[in-house]
Amino acid sequence: MARIKKGDQVIVIAGKDKGKTGRVLEVLKDVDRVVVEGVQRVTKHTKVGQSANGARTGGIETVEAPIHASNVMPIDPKTKKRTRVGFRVEEGQRPNGRKRTVRVRYAKKSGEDL
């Protein structure tokens, strides 16, 4: 199970954007990177092309680039500070009455579910 997932609120702990917070937009598991909203903004030059409706688009745009997953930490929902992630196994019931186990992520600082 992943420690950081899409939609998590995280804080950057290293790099040029240290201290900034944002929501995870995308997780790139194969290269251990995450794209965070408003962090690691880079300028991208796009070539002028012709789209289906005949409009020409191109120029310079600012987009978020991936940042290494080790440089971000989730934010604790209770204390609003950075925290480590723990996993615990909880027992639940299926609609047909059978038991099942579920792994739940929680903030180690406060014990709240993430």
Q: What is the mean pLDDT of the segment spanning 54-60?
A: 73
User: Residue 72: is its pLDDT beyond 80?
Assistant: yes
Looking at every residue in the chain, the average pLDDT score rounds to 88
Window from 15-24, 44-53, 59-68, 103-112 with minimum mean pLDDT: 44-53
DSSP symbols for the chain: --SS-TT-EEEE-SSTTTT-EEEEEEEEGGGTEEEETTSSEEEEEEEEEE-TTS-EEEEEEEEEPPEEGGGEEEBPTTT-SB--EEEEEEEEE-TTS-EEEEEEEEETTT--B-
Q: Is it true that domain 1-75 has CATH number 3.40.140.10?
A: no
Domain boundaries, the chain: 1-75, 77-113
